[in-house]
């Protein structure tokens, strides 16, 4: 089947890209595996008109509106391979299906590699978070923790006092120097040395147990996970750039990648995970792809 664009990933960025192309009466298909990155969170925050709405509800309404356009198709499945070049891409699905497309929009998101602390994965998105703007406000003003996995924890340790009293648990991940300790002191961040042993859920938060048996009750814990891209990125050969959390696809202001005819948007192309950013970048990718369909690469 031939399409103007195949959009890989049907979450916020992918649907935002699709909406622009649908309104330009272009024939598109979105291929989505149904695993949005924020599926672990009960509520989404910071997105205008939808603050506090469950992520699944935002996505369901977006999909409902998008599918009203007659040139849009939706395919639940996994993309196995992308070959070809601009105006003649071939997209093979894991179930044996395939599509031909003039343009590719990558919106497949990323996979979070969480610290191996026992109990943490079960509480991800519930009491353990990575974005203060998304989840900090609801925690109140007391007992916010940061679990270090590298020196990147400096970022959380210096930010989070704006949301509440913050303790940075160094977790044997790095040793702050005198200048860094002075920065923490200036921000009011308490620093605790030693390694974490496990995380237990409590009625109103979490209990962080240290290897030396010290116990800290927290309303929430922040960590900086490493991110991993879809194998399709390496297969296509898109140029990457390094972010503090891992590699992302390098794009220009129009969400164009280094591969002609291929665009990238959402968490796959921006280190800051946010519904607002995903929608904005997706819209730009859709507009840019339409521009090249009109005028050429």
215-243 per-position pLDDT tens digit = 999 999 999 999 999 999 999 999 999 99
For the chain, domains (ranges, CATH) are 2-112+226-295 (3.50.50.60), 115-222 (3.50.50.60)
Nearest one of 178, 174, 128, 127 to 155, comparing CA atoms: 174
Q: Which residues of 246-281 are buried (b: 16+ CB within 10 A; e: fewer)?
A: bbbbebeeebbbebebbbbbbbbbbbebbbbbbbbb
Q: How high is the mean pLDDT of the chain? A: 95
> Residue 80: how many CB atoms within 10 A of its CB?
16
Query: How many Å apart are CA 206 and CA 211, to the nearest integer?
Result: 16
pLDDT tens track for 166-181:
999 999 999 999 999 9
Q: What's the angle, vertex CA 196, arms to CA 242 and CA 208, rounded to 5?
A: 110
Which run of H or of E encompasses 234? helix 231-236
Cβ neighbour number for residue 42 with a 10 Å cutoff:
13
Average of per-residue pLDDT across 177-202:
97
pLDDT of residue 272: 78
Cα 19 to Cα 184: distance, rounded to the nearest angstrom: 45
pTM of this structure:
0.94
Question: How much is the pLDDT for 33?
Answer: 94
């Amino acid at each position: 089947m031939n399409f103007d664009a195949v959009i890989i990933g049907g979450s916020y960025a992918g649907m935002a890209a699709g909406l622009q192309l649908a309104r330009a009466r272009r024939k598109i298909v979105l291929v989505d595996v149904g695993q949005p990155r924020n599926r672990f969170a009960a509520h989404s925050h910071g997105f205008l008109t939808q603050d506090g709405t469950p992520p699944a509800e935002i996505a369901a309404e977006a999909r409902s509106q998008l599918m009203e356009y007659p040139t849009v198709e939706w395919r639940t499945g996994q993309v196995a391979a992308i070959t070809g070049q601009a105006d003649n891409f071939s997209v093979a699905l894991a179930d044996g299906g395939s599509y031909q497309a003039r343009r590719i929009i990558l919106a497949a998101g990323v996979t979070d590699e969480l610290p191996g602390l026992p109990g943490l994965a079960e509480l991800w998105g519930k009491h353990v978070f990575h974005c203060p703007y998304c989840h900090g406000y609801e925690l109140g003003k007391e007992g916010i923790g940061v679990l270090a996995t590298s020196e990147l924890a400096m970022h959380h340790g210096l930010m989070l006092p704006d949301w509440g009293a913050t303790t940075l648990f160094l977790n044997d991940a790095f040793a702050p120097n005198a200048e860094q300790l002075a920065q923490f002191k200036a921000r009011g961040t308490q620093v605790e040395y030693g390694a974490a042993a496990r995380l237990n859920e409590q009625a109103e938060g979490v209990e962080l147990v240290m290897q030396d048996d010290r116990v800290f009750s927290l309303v929430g814990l922040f960590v900086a996970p490493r991110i991993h891209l879809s194998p399709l990125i390496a297969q296509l050969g898109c140029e990457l750039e390094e972010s503090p959390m891992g590699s992302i696809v390098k794009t220009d202001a129009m969400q164009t990648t280094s591969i002609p005819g291929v665009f990238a948007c959402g968490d796959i192309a921006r280190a800051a995970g946010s519904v607002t950013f995903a929608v904005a970048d997706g819209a730009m990718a859709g507009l840019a792809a339409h521009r090249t369909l009109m005028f050429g690469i």
